[in-house]
Structure 1
Amino acid sequence: MYYFLGHLALVDAGFTTSVVPALLASLRGPALRLSRGGCLAQLCASLALGSAECVLLAVMALDRAAAVCRPLRYAALASPRLCRALAGGSWLGGLANSAAQTALLAARPLCPPLRLDHFICELPALLKLACGGRADAVERQMFAARVVILLLPSGVILASYCAVGRAVWAMRSSGSRRKAMGTCGSHLTAVCLFYGSAIYTYLQPTRSYDQGRGKFVSLFYTVVTPALNPLIYTLRNKEVKGAARRLLGALGRGHAGR
């Protein structure tokens, strides 16, 4: 669990780093000027990290299902080698999706005026500016890639939690049920926050994309959710809360000793 949480922390740190500087610069006053290459680089980085988080959350759901449904075999199922392979696959999947989407967008011309009504270079907003021949065919290819990177992990998460639900329902001890739900509660909260806003943003046709609502939802999944993840996992984790209490107790005793 902590191995995958470490990767999630790295993804969230990189995700916000690729988004927040442009957001702060755009809030400073005048419109932010970016070259096309700079805009595509920012898009590529944020897409890669966001897609990696999509796959990583699905991997974490499989990990939770194995822990709850097969507790006696969990150590054998979640071997270090398999965990490394799944984490590496999450990063590679994010990079592959980002490279494909960015390359398809880079091949399309942008229609003037080249003014993006957004605080970051986000794919739906950029697609509003794209024009040229074969526009519909390219957009369908890009939409198919977004469906795969969002709905396939969503299906894995749904199947994992269906298995968890059946396992919890079969438990006779209320203490075991509470422990199982505590194991899955933090992850399920993070999944709902991230996937809800990402699916709304990326799984709608470009023609129906609303810039005003899009900016608000984008702010939620690019900044708010990564900022909340440490709190979500900390406040619902007994080991972390116990370590925090011990640290605060040690600091209090040290202060009293002075």
Structure 2
Amino acid sequence: MERGNHSTVTKFFLSGLTDQPELQLPLFLLFLGIYLLTVLGNLGTIILILLSSHLKTPMYFFLSSLSFIDLCQSTVITPKMLMIFLMVKNDISYTECIIQLYFFVIFVVSECYMLAAMAYDRYVAICNPLLYSIIMSQHKCLSLVLGVYILGIVCASAHVGCIFRVDFCKSDLINHYFCDLISFFFFINLSISYIHFECYSLSRLMNTIFPTLTILISYVFIIISILRIKSTEGRSKAFSTCSSHISAVAIFFGSAAFMYLKPSSSSSIDEGKICSIFYTIFVPMLNPLIYSLRNKNVNTALKKILERRSFF
């Protein structure tokens, strides 16, 4: 196949989440409210960690990075989704679609590896508490976060580079509410080479399985260390430091794995559209709630800042 994109496609049409007109306005109001909560929660978490002297630890540094990723990921997807609910013609230009896909892949891959980095941080804190400050130094934390973003950028560049090298057929309909990888490969009728498809399949396996294995291995050692603690109070305290992260991991990887590891077909994509709402819309909103409501240090820091503002 000759290289290069020889199609005349300049824009695509997004099928959206539903084609029922009576549901457009209620869904718009619902997801607008979710997006506002997402922005408020994640931006508030970042500001709180920056302002509070009690949250200057590696754990909260990673949490602020996760909040930044969630904020950016939601902003890449949700505004266009809201426009689809209000517009009659759900079109998106070719350039805008590629840009949305590029940044979506950056942030979704970054979130996978950020959750893995946070699991490693909890492993060091519980299994090697005396060496925690030495192992998780400021330089180590910065290197981990930088590595997370580099992996996201490399994966996004590779995927978008492959898309630029394929030919589009006549169909310009994307059966999704945003420009996702699966919708590109299976619902725009791309003339795609076997090598490109294999690269895509290998990438989605690595970006899902490798972070998952890292998290599972970390928590195997964490559970072993917790079981060795004699006091019930000590076990409860150790487990409470991991419970929020476990909840976030289960929601994110559960929905993402269903979407990207399931064999692709027309029916699975329709199911996947609903499932993808969890990791593109709900997870960015839930993460600040999960980490703040179940974290005494975050609640204490928030109370102190509110009391300081009331005093002034």
> Is the TM-score greater than 0.5?
yes
Q: Specify which of 212, 218, 227 is matched with residue 169 of structure 1.
A: 227
Q: CA deviation at 1:214?
A: 1.4
3-state DSSP of counterpart to 2:190: coil
3-state DSSP of counterpart to 2:199: helix
Q: Specify which of 106, 111, 114 is matched with residue 169 of structure 2.
A: 111
State the partner residue of 2:82: 24
State the partner residue of 1:57: 115
- Output the amino acid matched with 2:172: L
Q: Specify which of 113, 131, 139 is matched with residue 190 of structure 2.
A: 131
State the partner residue of 1:182: 240
Q: CA deviation at 1:180?
A: 0.8
8 Å contact kept, 1:8–1:56: yes
What is the CA–CA distance in structure 1 between the aligned matches of 2:281 and 2:96, rounded to whole Å?
Answer: 20
| Superposed counterparts of 1:91-240, under 5 Å | 91-128=149-186, 129-132=188-191, 134=193, 136-207=194-265, 210-240=268-298
What is the CA–CA distance in structure 2 between the aligned matches of 1:244 and 1:233, rounded to whole Å?
Answer: 13
Kindly indicate whether residue 85 of structure 2 is the aligned counterpart of residue 11 of structure 1.
no
Kindly indicate whether residue 161 of structure 2 is the aligned counterpart of residue 72 of structure 1.
no
Larger displacement relative to structure 2 (218-227 or 195-204): 195-204
3-state DSSP of counterpart to 1:121: coil
What is the CA–CA distance in structure 2 between the aligned matches of 1:68 and 1:145, rounded to whole Å?
Answer: 32
Q: CA deviation at 1:160?
A: 0.1
Residue identity over aligned pairs, in percent, reads 32
3-state DSSP of counterpart to 1:206: coil
Q: Which has the higher strand share?
A: 2
Deviation string, structure 1 residues 155-194 (Cα, Å, up to 9, x no partner): 0000000000000011101111111111101111110111
- Output the amino acid matched with 1:8: L
User: Structure 1 residues 81, 133: CA separation in 2 closer, same or farther (over 3 Å shift)?
Assistant: closer
What is the CA–CA distance in structure 1 between the aligned matches of 2:148 and 2:263, rounded to whole Å?
Answer: 26
Kindly indicate whether residue 99 of structure 2 is the aligned counterpart of residue 41 of structure 1.
yes
Deviation string, structure 1 residues 66-92 (Cα, Å, up to 9, x no partner): 000011111111011111100100000
Structure 2: gaps of 5 or more residues: 1-58
- Output the amino acid matched with 1:131: L
User: Structure 1 residues 190, 113: CA separation in 2 closer, same or farther (over 3 Å shift)?
Assistant: same
TM-score by length of 1: 0.92
What CA RMSD, in Å, does the superposition of the two structures yield over aligned residues? 1.8
8 Å contact kept, 1:124–1:209: no
Q: Which has the higher helix share?
A: 1
User: Structure 1 residues 77, 18: CA separation in 2 closer, same or farther (over 3 Å shift)?
Assistant: same
3-state DSSP of counterpart to 2:73: helix
What is the CA–CA distance in structure 2 between the aligned matches of 1:41 and 1:209, rounded to whole Å?
Answer: 27
Q: CA deviation at 1:39?
A: 0.7
What is the CA–CA distance in structure 1 between the aligned matches of 2:91 and 2:167, rounded to whole Å?
Answer: 18
8 Å contact kept, 1:51–1:93: yes
What is the CA–CA distance in structure 2 between the aligned matches of 1:51 and 1:220, rounded to whole Å?
Answer: 15
Q: CA deviation at 1:37?
A: 1.9
- Output the amino acid matched with 2:249: V
Deviation string, structure 1 residues 118-166 (Cα, Å, up to 9, x no partner): 11001111111243252x3321111101111111011000000000000
- Structure with the larger RCO, 1 or 2 (CA within 8 Å, 6+ apart): 2
- Output the amino acid matched with 2:263: P
**What is the count of residue pairs matched by the alignment?**
253
- Output the amino acid matched with 1:228: L
User: Structure 1 residues 209, 127: CA separation in 2 closer, same or farther (over 3 Å shift)?
Assistant: farther
